[in-house]
Amino acid sequence: MNPLHDILMIEKKLAAPTASGYFDVPESWHTRYPLPPKDLMRGVLGEGAVEGSFLYGGYVVAEGLKSILKLTGRKLSEFNRILDFGCGCGRVLRWFDEEAAKAELHGSDIDNAAINWCRQHLPFAAFSTNGPLPPLPYPDDFFDLIYSISLLTHLNEDYQFQWLKELKRIAKPEAVIVQTVHGLDQARLHFEPRDLLRLDHRGFVFKKSRWLGGLHGHPGFCQTAYHTNSYIEREWSRFFSIRGIIAHGPVYNQELVIMENTEGTGEGRESRVETAVHCRLPMMALDEPQLACEVESGELVVRGWAFYPDGEDLHVDLWIDGIRRCSFEPAEPRPDVGEVFSAFPASRRAGFSSVVQIADLPAGPHRLWLTRSENSIPCVSAYFVKL
């Protein structure tokens, strides 16, 4: 049984986001812990790292993970031990601090400086440093949720298989494992035709990063990997059961692979290809409101961009605290977005702007998120404080 199938294949049955678990946000949530120094943020965001994008990106991914886990029939609060593998300086993990009351939170990374910073400033979790290859300092069958954001995206095939085998070792039976990959859309942005043919033929391509010597602040073996869905279902199913592959949305221009540690999977076994659910969400970003911004009036300006790489029609719903407030179709000119995503003509007219009436909302924090109209997976999220 694949619980994602029943939900995503019949998307009209998706329950709308609810206020429960979404509304009770402290006004100072984003400043509860200090921001890491710029050199550590650059390890995640590159040379253009800024505080706002560090907070916003981590928040969006954290909210997206919570919602996508619900589609597997599991809530974040139901897991007992959670590992952020490749946590860096805690960009995502910092938003899970409230889960520490119910679960053990752990983070591991190859960057000693990032781990030392996390140990000093994120007291709700335990942190460890790992090497370029296994093992990790955890016993067998230890975690029931393991996630990595943009980690296997930068390792060659041999390193990936060794790490998948190691994650298999430390995962409990029926544990959920979530990884992100660069898929076909990302390849279309950066590949020449011959590389696209290689990817189509083999399903996997590993290329030197645009930054010489590897990614900023990372060892030289960290470059850039690209996967097709068929490759993941064929090769990764030797380790885990592939439940779903969700493109874009909360992971922006990457794809989220959802797996389970079930019987009959394991390194050394033949691939066991099952029917995984494929869900394509739009690429989307918010320009306004900024995370934790204060709103004095009864109106909230919402502005950003959204598009499907293949140019499909897109209808977007805007939600505040579980209530759908308005819908719109992104169609405003956005030459800046079109320049970044030049391989996708739809990006040139991907802008949206709306003024949402919020006079009825009480003072305090409120969660906002945008979804495509067919389902309730948040593609982008923010929270604002009404004065």
Each residue of 200-220: pLDDT tens digit? 999 999 998 664 344 555 567
Residue 305 in this model has a pLDDT that exceeds 80: yes
Averaged pLDDT, 91-98: 94
Look at residue 67 in the predicted model and tell me its pLDDT: 87
Look at residue 329 in the predicted model and tell me its pLDDT: 96
Residue 305 is classified by DSSP as E
- What domains appear along the chain, each with residue ranges and CATH number? 33-280 (3.40.50.150), 283-386 (2.60.40.2550)
Averaged pLDDT, 296-302: 95
Q: How far, in Å, CA of 317 to CA of 329, rounded?
A: 9
**In the predicted model, what is the mean pLDDT of the chain?**
88
Averaged pLDDT, 60-73: 88
CA nearest neighbour of 251 among 64, 59, 101: 64
Residue 170 in this model has a pLDDT that exceeds 80: yes
Share of the chain above pLDDT 70, in %: 86
Q: How far, in Å, CA of 2 to CA of 233, rounded?
A: 14
Look at residue 30 in the predicted model and tell me its pLDDT: 76
Checking 259-262 for CB contacts under 8 A at 24+ apart, the result is: 259/176, 259/177, 259/178, 259/179, 260/72, 260/174, 260/175, 260/176, 260/177, 261/168, 261/171, 261/172, 261/173, 261/174, 261/175, 261/176, 261/177, 262/173, 262/174
Share of the chain above pLDDT 90, in %: 72
Rounded to an integer, what is the distance from CA 89 to the centroid of its chain?
Answer: 16
Residue 12 in this model has a pLDDT that exceeds 50: no
Lowest mean pLDDT among 23-32, 124-133, 236-245, 327-336: 23-32
Query: What's the count of helices (H) and strands (E) in the chain, helices before strands?
Result: 9, 18
Residue 24 in this model has a pLDDT that exceeds 80: no
Averaged pLDDT, 81-95: 96
Residue 275 in this model has a pLDDT that exceeds 90: no
Higher pLDDT pick, 7 / 115: 115
Look at residue 220 in the predicted model and tell me its pLDDT: 72
Residue 235 in this model has a pLDDT that exceeds 50: yes
Look at residue 154 in the predicted model and tell me its pLDDT: 92
Residues 6+ apart with CB under 8 A from 330: 305, 306, 307, 314, 316, 349, 350, 351, 352
Residue 331 in this model has a pLDDT that exceeds 90: yes
Q: Which of 25-34, 104-113, 268-277 has the highest mean pLDDT?
A: 104-113
Threshold 0.75, pTM exceeds: yes
Residue 300 in this model has a pLDDT that exceeds 60: yes
Look at residue 265 in the predicted model and tell me its pLDDT: 67
pLDDT class for 276, splitting at 50, 70, 90? confident
Residue 20 in this model has a pLDDT that exceeds 70: no
Residue 11 in this model has a pLDDT that exceeds 50: no
Residue 274 in this model has a pLDDT that exceeds 70: no
